[in-house]
């Protein structure tokens, strides 16, 4: 069976990067109709042929990395991290508002201004970590 034929539009699907003289090894996965349809759909979404998508997924798994699309569990982990970072930024904004109100009434910055800066730095560092993790998974 030619996996490339499962992609309906050749103008949207692309092959993986070709190497010369070519890849000498082939693996023929056996899939049910449902599994084959799922692979074909994922390949279309990734803009790859089914064979190219399958090869990338297998190589990523073999290298202990997630395929380009990732799994739902991984996305949930990233979502939790982003929510936690968002919460920290919201708390920072609240602390800045309180510090500004105190400064306007007393003319001095309260102690919580330093805490707000620390909270902001921690939130940005956390966002940087999540961004780096996403970047590594997309490579």
What are 60-81's pLDDT values in tens digits? 778 765 555 555 566 777 778 8
User: Is the entire prediction scored with pTM above 0.85?
Assistant: no
For residue 50, give Cα distances in angstroms to 13, 20, 24: 9, 21, 19
Instruction: Write down which residue in 18, 40, 62 finishes a domain.
Output: 62
Average pLDDT over residues 3-21: 55
Q: d(Cα 47, Cα 108) in Å, to the nearest integer?
A: 58
For residue 31, give Cα distances in angstroms to 2, 12, 27, 47, 81: 13, 24, 12, 21, 35
CB burial of residue 66 (10 Å; 0-12, 13-18, 19+):
middle
Number of domains observed in the structure of the chain: 2
- Does one domain contain both 76 and 129? yes
For residue 42, give Cα distances in angstroms to 7, 13, 52: 10, 11, 11
What are 29-55's pLDDT values in tens digits? 899 999 999 999 888 888 888 888 888
Domain that holds residue 81: 72-138
Q: How many CB atoms are located within 10 Å of the residue 3 CB?
A: 20
What is the C-alpha R_g of the chain? 24
């Amino acid at each position: 069976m030619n996996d490339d034929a499962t992609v309906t539009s050749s103008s949207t699907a692309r092959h993986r990067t070709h190497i010369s003289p070519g890849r000498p090894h082939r693996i023929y996965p056996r899939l049910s109709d449902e599994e084959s349809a799922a692979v074909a759909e994922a390949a279309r979404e990734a803009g790859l042929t089914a064979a190219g998508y399958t090869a990338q997924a297998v190589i990523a798994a073999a290298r202990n990395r997630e395929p380009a699309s990732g799994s739902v569990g991984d996305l949930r982990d990233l979502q939790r991290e982003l929510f936690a970072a968002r919460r920290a930024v919201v708390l920072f904004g609240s602390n800045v508002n309180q510090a500004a109100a105190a400064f306007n009434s007393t003319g001095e910055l309260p102690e919580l201004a330093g805490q707000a800066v620390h909270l902001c730095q921690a939130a940005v560092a956390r966002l940087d970590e999540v961004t780096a993790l996403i970047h590594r998974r997309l490579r």
